[in-house]
């Protein structure tokens, strides 16, 4: 009955776990994407109604109760745009980090940044 909600909760947990447990920044980003996707799934599940049809109005008398709620879909289109923009900025940052420090492992990265701060500026 409520399986989709459990899937959404499972994905949320998986995303959070990946963000916390992994030292690699790319994997953290992947965890973040899973986390965001879980929320999109949650919104879409909210809009679904048993026995209802797609929210496309055809000529003739309209009965609102026969349609699924289109609003969460519209909201999630916006959320997906936000998600794409966030991932884009994150990937750009990761590319520049890797170009400069040669690693995306969090602890190695911290060491190399600290080492750089100790050296006098060129």
Partner 1 sequence: MIRAQLPVLPLVLTLAGALLVSMLGIVRPRVAWPLAVTAVGAAALAAVAGVVDVVAHGTRRYAVGGWPPPWGIEVVLDPLSSFMAAVVACVATATLIAARRPAAQLYGHTVAAFYALALVAVTGFLGIIASGDMFNVFVFLEIAAIASYALVASAGGAALAAAFRYLVLGTVGASFYLLGVGLLYALTGTLNMADLAARVPAVSGSPLFVGGVGFVLVGLAIKMGLFPLHGWLPDAYTHAPTPVTALLAGVATKAAAYALARMVWYVLRPMELPVPLVLTWAGMAAIVIGGVLALRQRDARRMLAYSSVSQLGYIALGFGLATPVALAGAYLHVLNHAVMKASLFLVVGAAVAAGGRPLVGALGLGRHMPVTAACALVAAISMIGLPPAGGFFSKWYLLQAAVDTSRPLAVAAILVGSLLAAAYMYRFTEAIWAAPAGHAGPSDPPASMQVGLLTLAAATLAIGLASAALMDAVLLPAAAGAF
The residues that touch partner 1, with contacts defined as CB under 8 A, are: 12, 16, 19, 25, 28-29, 32, 35-36, 39, 42-43, 46, 72, 75, 78-79, 82, 85-86, 89-90, 92-94, 96-97, 100, 109-110, 113, 116-117
| 20 vs 54 by CB, closer to partner 1 | 20
Query: Least distance to partner 1 from the beta carbon of 55, Å?
Result: 15
List the one residue out of 41, 3, 39, 26 whose CA is nearest residue 105: 26
**How is 83-122 classified by DSSP, letter by letter?**
HHHHHHHHHHHHHHHHHHHS--BHHHHHHHHHHHHHSPP-
CB of 42 to partner 1, least distance (A): 6
Site of tokens 């709620």: 69
Q: How far is the CB of 58 from partner 1 (least distance, A)?
A: 22
Burial class of residue 82, CB neighbours in 10 A (0-12, 13-18, 19+): exposed
Comparison of 57 and 60: residue with beta carbon closer to partner 1: 57
């Amino acid at each position: 009955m409520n399986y989709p909600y459990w899937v959404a909760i499972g994905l949320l947990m998986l995303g959070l776990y990946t963000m916390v447990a992994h030292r690699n920044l790319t994997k953290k980003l992947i965890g973040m994407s899973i986390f965001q996707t879980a929320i999109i799934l949650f919104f879409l599940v909210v809009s679904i109604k048993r026995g209802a049809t797609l929210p496309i109005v055809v000529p003739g008398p309209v009965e609102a109760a026969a349609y699924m709620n289109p609003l969460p879909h519209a909201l999630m289109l916006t959320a997906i745009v936000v998600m794409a923009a966030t991932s884009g900025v994150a990937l750009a940052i990761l590319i520049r980090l890797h170009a400069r420090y040669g690693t995306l492992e969090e602890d190695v990265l911290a060491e190399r940044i600290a080492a750089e701060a100790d050296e006098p500026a060129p």
